[in-house]
Amino acid sequence: VQLQASGGGLVQPGGSLRLSCTASGSIVSVNTVEWYRQAPGKQRELLASITKAGTTNYVDSVKGRFTISRDNARNTIYLQMNSLKPEDTAAYSCHAQIWVSRRERNDYWGQGTQVTVSS
Protein backbone atom coordinates (compact mmCIF):
# COMPACT_ATOMS: atom_id res chain seq x y z
CA VAL A 1 0.00 0.00 0.00
CA GLN A 2 1.26 3.45 -0.89
CA LEU A 3 0.01 6.90 0.01
CA GLN A 4 1.01 9.61 -2.43
CA ALA A 5 0.63 13.32 -1.72
CA SER A 6 0.86 15.77 -4.60
CA GLY A 7 -0.20 19.19 -5.82
CA GLY A 8 2.16 21.51 -4.00
CA GLY A 9 3.95 24.40 -5.63
CA LEU A 10 4.66 28.10 -5.58
CA VAL A 11 1.67 30.43 -5.34
CA GLN A 12 1.21 34.13 -4.67
CA PRO A 13 -0.51 35.36 -1.52
CA GLY A 14 -4.26 35.15 -1.96
CA GLY A 15 -3.93 32.33 -4.43
CA SER A 16 -5.20 28.75 -4.33
CA LEU A 17 -3.84 25.23 -4.57
CA ARG A 18 -5.45 21.82 -4.41
CA LEU A 19 -3.49 19.00 -2.82
CA SER A 20 -4.27 15.34 -3.46
CA CYS A 21 -3.57 12.30 -1.33
CA THR A 22 -4.07 9.00 -3.17
CA ALA A 23 -3.95 5.52 -1.69
CA SER A 24 -2.99 2.63 -3.95
CA GLY A 25 -2.30 -1.06 -3.61
CA SER A 26 -4.20 -3.84 -1.91
CA ILE A 27 -6.83 -1.76 -0.12
CA VAL A 28 -10.14 -2.78 1.34
CA SER A 29 -11.10 0.73 2.39
CA VAL A 30 -9.64 4.02 3.52
CA ASN A 31 -10.83 5.27 6.89
CA THR A 32 -10.04 8.64 8.44
CA VAL A 33 -7.51 10.76 6.56
CA GLU A 34 -5.68 13.76 7.96
CA TRP A 35 -3.65 16.54 6.39
CA TYR A 36 -0.66 17.92 8.28
CA ARG A 37 1.95 20.53 7.58
CA GLN A 38 5.36 21.30 8.97
CA ALA A 39 7.19 24.54 8.48
CA PRO A 40 10.96 24.79 9.02
CA GLY A 41 11.78 24.97 12.72
CA LYS A 42 8.19 24.27 13.75
CA GLN A 43 6.29 21.25 14.96
CA ARG A 44 4.06 19.29 12.63
CA GLU A 45 0.53 20.67 12.73
CA LEU A 46 -2.72 18.81 12.15
CA LEU A 47 -4.84 20.88 9.76
CA ALA A 48 -7.90 18.91 8.82
CA SER A 49 -9.42 15.47 8.96
CA ILE A 50 -12.20 13.62 7.20
CA THR A 51 -13.84 10.35 8.13
CA LYS A 52 -14.96 7.74 5.64
CA ALA A 53 -18.50 9.03 6.06
CA GLY A 54 -17.35 12.54 5.25
CA THR A 55 -17.33 14.21 8.66
CA THR A 56 -14.72 16.96 8.65
CA ASN A 57 -12.75 18.88 11.25
CA TYR A 58 -10.38 21.81 10.87
CA VAL A 59 -7.86 23.66 12.97
CA ASP A 60 -8.91 27.26 13.58
CA SER A 61 -6.08 28.72 11.48
CA VAL A 62 -7.45 27.21 8.26
CA LYS A 63 -11.21 27.25 8.88
CA GLY A 64 -13.00 29.05 6.10
CA ARG A 65 -9.95 28.90 3.81
CA PHE A 66 -9.20 25.17 3.46
CA THR A 67 -11.64 22.43 2.52
CA ILE A 68 -10.97 18.73 2.88
CA SER A 69 -12.96 16.32 0.72
CA ARG A 70 -12.69 12.78 -0.58
CA ASP A 71 -13.54 10.60 -3.52
CA ASN A 72 -13.91 7.12 -2.06
CA ALA A 73 -14.16 5.50 -5.48
CA ARG A 74 -10.69 6.85 -6.32
CA ASN A 75 -9.26 6.44 -2.78
CA THR A 76 -8.25 10.07 -3.03
CA ILE A 77 -8.53 12.84 -0.47
CA TYR A 78 -8.22 16.50 -1.43
CA LEU A 79 -7.26 19.65 0.40
CA GLN A 80 -8.49 22.76 -1.38
CA MET A 81 -6.54 25.72 -0.08
CA ASN A 82 -7.80 29.23 -0.82
CA SER A 83 -6.71 32.69 0.30
CA LEU A 84 -3.22 31.39 0.92
CA LYS A 85 -0.90 33.39 3.15
CA PRO A 86 2.89 33.38 3.44
CA GLU A 87 2.52 31.68 6.81
CA ASP A 88 0.93 28.70 5.03
CA THR A 89 4.32 27.90 3.55
CA ALA A 90 5.27 24.40 4.69
CA ALA A 91 5.66 20.78 3.69
CA TYR A 92 2.18 19.24 3.58
CA SER A 93 1.64 15.53 4.15
CA CYS A 94 -1.27 13.18 4.59
CA HIS A 95 -1.91 10.37 7.03
CA ALA A 96 -4.50 7.64 6.54
CA GLN A 97 -5.93 4.68 8.37
CA ILE A 98 -6.31 1.96 5.74
CA TRP A 99 -7.95 -1.43 6.00
CA VAL A 100 -5.81 -3.89 4.07
CA SER A 101 -7.93 -6.87 5.00
CA ARG A 102 -11.11 -7.48 6.98
CA ARG A 103 -9.04 -7.75 10.16
CA GLU A 104 -6.02 -5.54 9.61
CA ARG A 105 -5.96 -1.75 9.64
CA ASN A 106 -2.66 0.10 9.34
CA ASP A 107 -1.48 3.71 9.44
CA TYR A 108 0.25 5.17 6.41
CA TRP A 109 1.98 8.47 5.70
CA GLY A 110 2.34 10.11 2.34
CA GLN A 111 5.54 11.96 1.56
CA GLY A 112 5.45 15.72 1.93
CA THR A 113 4.54 18.07 -0.88
CA GLN A 114 5.97 21.57 -0.59
CA VAL A 115 3.70 24.60 -0.61
CA THR A 116 5.39 27.98 -0.88
CA VAL A 117 3.33 31.17 -0.68
CA SER A 118 5.35 34.12 -1.82
CA SER A 119 5.16 37.12 -4.11
Q: In whole angstroms, what is the distance from residue 79 CA to residue 21 CA?
A: 8
For residue range 61-100, what is the model confidence (pLDDT) as tens digits? 999 999 999 999 999 999 999 999 999 999 999 999 999 9
Q: What's the mean per-residue pLDDT of the chain?
A: 96
pLDDT at site 13? 98
Q: In whole angstroms, what is the distance from residue 66 CA to residue 52 CA?
A: 18
3-class DSSP state for residue 86?
Answer: helix
Which are the contacts of 87, defined by CB distance < 8 A and separation ≥ 6? 39, 117
pLDDT at site 86? 96
For residue range 35-60, what is the model confidence (pLDDT) as tens digits? 999 999 999 999 999 999 999 999 99
